[in-house]
Chain A
Amino acid sequence: MTPPPSITPDISFESLMDHTEFRVDADRAHITVDEEKCRGCSVRGCVVACPARLFVPTSDGGILFNYEQCFECGTCYLVCNEEGAITWTYPEGGHGVVFHRS
């Protein structure tokens, strides 16, 4: 196992993400996380599997997440082993990720 990721920005990954367009909906997060359920979770598949690195564990056992650079793939809720800890819907129409060359 690799050590848990740090919240310090990874420059190479951030610059990779910089090439993808996100039309962020500032009014609504399309991902919600139930912190109580996450605190009881030892697996945390979302942390390693999310291809956009949106989930970051905190030292006190919680989870921080970012919804703004989400690929809207659904990996997080599919690998979540705590029923309903991650609630995931699509962003409002016209918002979120916009692929051009994929």
Chain B
Amino acid sequence: MRGCGRCGAVRRGSRRYSAPVASEPPDGPAPNPSDAEPAGGPVVGPDGVTRVDAVVVGAGPAGSAAALQLARAGRSVVLVERGPFPGAKNMYGGVIYGRILDSLVPGWTEEMPIQRWVTRRQTMMLTESQAMTIDFRTEAWGEPPYNGATAFRGDFDPWLAGKATDAGARLLCSTTATGLIFGTGDAGRRVVGIRTDRPGGELYADVVIAADGVNSFLAKEAGLYPTADAANYTVGVKEVLSLPRTVIEDRFGVRGRHGVDIEIIGATGEVPGGGFVYTNLDSVAIGLVLSLPKLAAGGRRPEELLAELKAHPAIAPLIDGGEPQEYSAHVIPEAGFDMMPQLVGEGLLVSGDAAAMCLAAGLWLEGVNFAIGAGAAAGRAAAVALDAGDTSAEGLSSYVDRLERSFVLEDHRRLRQAPHLLMGERIQQKYPQMVCNTVERVFRVDNPLPKQRIHEIVLDEVRRSGVRAADLVRDGWAALRTFG
């Protein structure tokens, strides 16, 4: 087996499988991580207890934005990250829309580590042998003030966390938060800190911000999440394939730092979901997002479905010859508003994917911007509560007000039906075929027969698709109400 010299992976070659055990795993000795942030030591008081104003768990975009706001407010804040560096555990669908950074990190367009500015946006409907693409491009998104950029999270997340540490936050990497610490007596449900897997790793704080990602064990431990229902989640899988920069520019029709984002429907077989292709500087990322219950019940593996997308005649020429660089997977909180937990607890705020703030609304697939917006609101709300000396749920409640007044909850509330609509069988299975067949017949020349009238083709294809007219109207109306 070929090793990867660049990343120096530890484990190579054929894998080992273990027999299951019914008992708890043995507790290994606490590690002494070599990548730990040396300047990240928390403050130990004279009583031997480590206290700060705020602990933020997770140095993703939500956590770093929260820590940045708290540090700017003059508060002592520790940002805890379980990866060896921010972004090490993160994977996403590829585009960061940075407008929210205008106020938070002025001048961000000059320094954010990007791959390419997206100037070309495509929405593609696939069938087995057809593709219908809506292709939009604008030079405006390739110059200030810009719109969105592709970026590696292994570059972007450390950059944003660096803004927080520049402002005075302390970043503790290679540190997993293993649980919440609750107060005693009357304050029994009040969060007063976190446990970590570091030796003596209890951190006490007046407020804890859980930005610990889609699985948020902290929000669940605090009782803020209803039971996790697999139907609310998708899993994203992605391959990054290296290609020469000039080849990418020729195949995707862009130059310089301009890039392309392609969102795909009809690429996931029987499993509801979607696909994506986007350009990095010298690599192309291709991936799928798949609904968990149908994936688990369907018998087709994620990598099999991805291999089919890669082999599709509309996609294969784009990635031909690409050398695999990284394969990744991550769960996505797909259901948005309807799966959000309680956002505020006693001494606790939940933010980012931990609060299901990723927006999976078909036309708009966003997440990093929502995490930044929510995290910044959490940091501000925590700072105000600390100033007032009240970090109870009541004292922290301005967090929700801030989100309600911002795009975070406004967009999520307005688009709450979008995930259900887009994961439905007709949009997933029927409409791509119906649209592709219609377009194929419109552009096909059937001489000596004369041209068929377009409305006749449309009606005929609707009939052939098996979609009832009433459902077509219902979906159209739902789409108009949601997106219109």
Distance of A45 Cα from B3 Cα, bound (Å): 31
Q: A74 near B331 (CB under 8 angstroms)? A: yes
For window 27-82 of chain A, which residues contact chain B by CB distance below 8 Å? 27-30, 32-36, 38, 43, 45-46, 48-49, 51-53, 56, 62-69, 71-75, 78-79
Q: Establish whether residues B217 and A51, one from each chain, have CB atoms under 8 Å apart when the complex forms.
A: no
Contact B235–A48 (Cβ < 8 Å)? no
Contacts of A24 in B (CB 8 A): 10-11
Distance of A68 Cα from B13 Cα, bound (Å): 12
Of B296, B300, B326, B330, most A-chain CB atoms within 10 Å = B296
Q: Which of A3-31 contact B (CB under 8 A)?
A: 5, 7, 9, 13-25, 27-30
Q: Interface size (A, Cβ < 8 Å)? A: 66
Q: In the complex the two chains form, is B10's CB within 8 Å of A48's CB?
A: no
Known contacts A18-B1, A73-B330, A92-B197: A45-B296 contact under CB 8 Å: yes
A84–B306 Cα gap in the complex (Å)?
30
Q: Do residues A98 and B7 form an inter-chain contact, with CB atoms below 8 A?
A: yes
Of all chain A residues, which has the CB nearest B30? A92
B9, B33, B90, B300 — most chain A CB neighbours (10 Å)? B9
Q: Determine the chain B residues whose CB is within 8 A of the CB of A91 once the complex forms.
A: 82, 176
| Alpha-carbon separation in the docked complex, A16 to B240 (Å) | 10
The answer, yes or no, to whether B228 is at the interface (CB within 8 Å) is yes
Would you give the shortest CB distance from B239 to chain A, in whole angstroms? 7
Q: Which residues of B contact A95 (CB under 8 A)?
A: 31
Give B395 Cβ to nearest chain A Cβ, in Å: 30
Min distance, Cβ B432 to any Cβ of chain A, angstroms: 23
A-contacting residues, B175-227, CB 8 Å: 175-176, 178, 196-198, 214-215, 217
Question: Which chain B residues numbered 1 to 58 have a C-beta less than 8 Å away from chain A?
Answer: 1-4, 6-12, 14-31, 33-36
Q: Does B472 contact A (CB under 8 A)?
A: no
Interface size class of B (residues with CB under 8 A): 35 or more
Closest-CB distance, A22 to chain B (whole angstroms): 5
Contacts of A62 in B (CB 8 A): 19-20
**CA gap between A79 and B79 in the complex, in Å:** 31
Give A9's nearest chain B residue, CB to CB. Answer: B14
Closest to B328 in A: A102
Number of A-B contacts (CB under 8 A): 228
In chain B, positions 281-308 with a C-beta closer than 8 Å to chain A are: 283, 285, 292-293, 295-304
* Cβ distance A98 to chain B, nearest Cβ, rounded Å: 5
Residues of A contacting B: mostly: loop
CB of A51 within 8 A of CB of B303, answer yes
Contacts of B295 in A (CB 8 A): 45, 48-49, 79
Contact B89 A79 (CB under 8 A): no
Report if B341 contacts A (CB, 8 A).
Answer: no
Whether B152 is near chain A, meaning CB under 8 Å from some CB there, is yes
Contact of A21 among B8, B82, B240 (CB under 8 A): B8
Q: Chain A residues with Cβ under 8 A from B482's Cβ?
A: none
Q: With a CB–CB cut-off of 8 A, which chain B residues contact A78?
A: 228, 230, 233, 292, 331
Report which of B21, B89, B228 forms a contact with A72, defined as CB distance below 8 A: B89
Interface string of B67-87 (1 = CB under 8 A from A): 000000000000000111001
Across the interface, which residues of B come within 8 angstroms of A46, CB to CB?
A: 296
Set of chain A residues within 8 Å of B280, measured between Cβ atoms: 101
The 10 residue pairs across chains A and B that have the minimum distance between CB atoms: A27-B28, A45-B296, A94-B174, A94-B33, A33-B20, A51-B329, A102-B91, A79-B296, A64-B17, A1-B299
| Interchain residue pairs with CB less than 8 A apart (17) | A2-B300, A18-B3, A19-B325, A23-B9, A25-B28, A33-B21, A52-B329, A63-B20, A64-B17, A66-B15, A66-B16, A68-B11, A94-B31, A97-B88, A99-B90, A102-B153, A102-B328
Contact residues of A with B, CB < 8 Å?
1-2, 5, 7, 9, 13-25, 27-30, 32-36, 38, 43, 45-46, 48-49, 51-53, 56, 62-69, 71-75, 78-79, 89-102
